[in-house]
């Protein structure tokens, strides 16, 4: 048992949190005359350490997840979803969303393809919500920052939001609120074949890593930069006043603040880490992350092409309400999760 505890501690601290990298950067900065005892030196360390750590973890996770995705092309996902109806269909769709694209905008083409293929509306919405909110890459990064209990709780409640939202939308029978829009460019058969060689399966993740990092690296840099500023320059009492326990509307504020922002979850995680250390409530922070990743303004604009205003407003309202409820749940149980 002691061996397993030590192994778990080693994985958490040296592999996921990469404390060795932190010490290495401190050593290099000290040799350059940049002291960690100053705000500037501490900010530089935070920025370099988090950018490298998140990028390395992300590259590794994208590679393995993309390799897994070669066994689940869109056409196969559609065939799987067609086998299930009702609640089970929503559950399967939400789970499939965890191994598909990393942001809301990249999952929308699959959502459109599923709609055009005649899948139940509620099932496709469960997929649409789950895909950007609870992918496997974010799970690993959440473990590296918050620990395994919080990461699993985040994923579980994210799946619950996706499943319940899909069920509600299905029960409302809003199929007539879809636009008569069938884009010729949407082909959910995908380019991935089930008959790939091992070499081809390994090449696809390499390409995916390069393409994904090129898209999200900007948001990682911006997110870490904002985190470094908050970490060293924003007073704790200011964060606690807005997002702390004494503000009962913090979750609502954070959710609504996150919706207009377009960023990847990998860019919001370093900000969340700093805010938590500054005294912000856990649920308030996670509500902000969910709002950013699931209901970003660009994704809402894209969804307007296939949804009429009534359906779009209902989708946003249901998802937003679910995120806010989850935020308050996390705040209530925060001290049990650490």
**Tens-place pLDDT, residues 3-59:** 666 777 777 778 877 889 999 999 999 999 888 888 888 889 989 998 898 888 878
Alpha-carbon span 34 to 26, nearest angstrom: 9
- Please provide the distance, in angstroms rounded to a whole number, between the alpha carbons at the two ends of the chain: 21
Alpha-carbon span 237 to 254, nearest angstrom: 17
The sign one gets for the Cα dihedral 8, 209, 323, 88 is negative
Phi, psi (rounded to 5 degrees) for 195: -105, 35
The sign one gets for the Cα dihedral 240, 242, 248, 250 is negative
What band does 162 get if pLDDT is binned at 50, 70 and 90? very high
Tokens of 248: 């009962």
Alpha-carbon span 141 to 3, nearest angstrom: 24
- For 89-116, what is the mean pLDDT? 75
**Of the ranges 22-26, 215-219, 273-277, which one carries the lowest mean pLDDT score?**
215-219
Q: What is the mean pLDDT of the chain?
A: 81
Given a cut of 80, is residue 157 above it in pLDDT?
A: yes
Report pLDDT digits (tens) over 297-310: 767 877 887 888 99
> Nearest to residue 155, comparing CAs of 143, 166, 144?
143
- Of all residues in the chain, the percent with pLDDT exceeding 90 is 16
Q: Looking at the 3D structure of the chain, how many domains does it have?
A: 1
Which residue's structure tokens are 């919080």? 150
Q: Can you say how many angstroms the Cα of residue 248 is from the centroid of all Cα atoms in its chain? A: 25
Residues 6+ apart with CB under 8 A from 141: 54, 57, 58, 61, 265, 266, 269
The DSSP call for residue 186 is -
Q: List residues bridging with 178 in a β-sheet.
A: 307
Report pLDDT digits (tens) over 230-243: 877 788 777 878 88
Answer whether 0.85 is exceeded by the pTM.
no
What is the extent of the structural domain holding 180? Answer: 2-337
CA distances 95 to 46, 99, 176, Å, are 34, 8, 27
């Amino acid at each position: 048992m002691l061996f397993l505890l030590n192994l778990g501690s080693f994985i958490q601290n040296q592999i996921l949190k990469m404390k060795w990298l932190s010490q290495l950067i401190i050593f290099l900065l000290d040799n350059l005359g940049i002291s960690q005892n100053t705000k500037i030196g501490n900010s530089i360390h935070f920025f370099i350490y988090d950018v490298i750590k998140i990028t390395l973890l992300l590259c590794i996770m994208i590679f393995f997840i993309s390799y897994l995705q070669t066994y689940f092309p869109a056409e196969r996902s559609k065939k799987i979803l067609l086998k299930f109806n009702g609640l089970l269909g929503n559950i399967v769709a939400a789970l499939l969303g965890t191994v598909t694209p990393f942001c809301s905008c990249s999952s929308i083409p699959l959502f459109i393809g599923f709609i055009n293929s005649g899948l139940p509306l509620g099932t496709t919405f469960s997929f649409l919500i789950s895909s950007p909110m609870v992918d496997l890459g974010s799970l690993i990064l959440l473990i590296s920052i918050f620990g395994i209990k919080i990461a699993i709780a985040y994923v579980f409640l994210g799946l619950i939001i996706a499943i319940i939202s899909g069920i509600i939308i299905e029960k409302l029978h809003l199929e007539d609120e879809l636009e008569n829009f069938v884009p010729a460019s949407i082909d959910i058969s995908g380019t991935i074949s089930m008959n790939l060689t091992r070499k081809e399966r390994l090449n696809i993740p390499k390409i995916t890593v390069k393409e994904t990092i090129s898209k999200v690296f900007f948001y990682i840099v911006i997110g870490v930069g904002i985190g470094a500023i908050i970490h060293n320059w924003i007073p704790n009492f200011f964060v606690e006043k807005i997002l702390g326990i004494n503000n009962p509307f913090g979750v609502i504020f954070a959710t609504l603040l996150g919706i207009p922002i377009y960023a990847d979850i990998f860019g919001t995680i370093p900000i969340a880490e700093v805010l938590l250390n500054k005294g912000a409530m856990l649920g308030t922070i996670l509500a902000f992350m969910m709002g950013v990743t699931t209901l970003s303004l660009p994704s809402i604009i894209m969804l307007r092409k296939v949804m009429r205003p009534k359906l779009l407003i209902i989708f946003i309202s249901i998802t937003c309400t679910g995120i806010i409820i989850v935020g308050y749940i996390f705040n209530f149980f925060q001290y049990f999760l650490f």
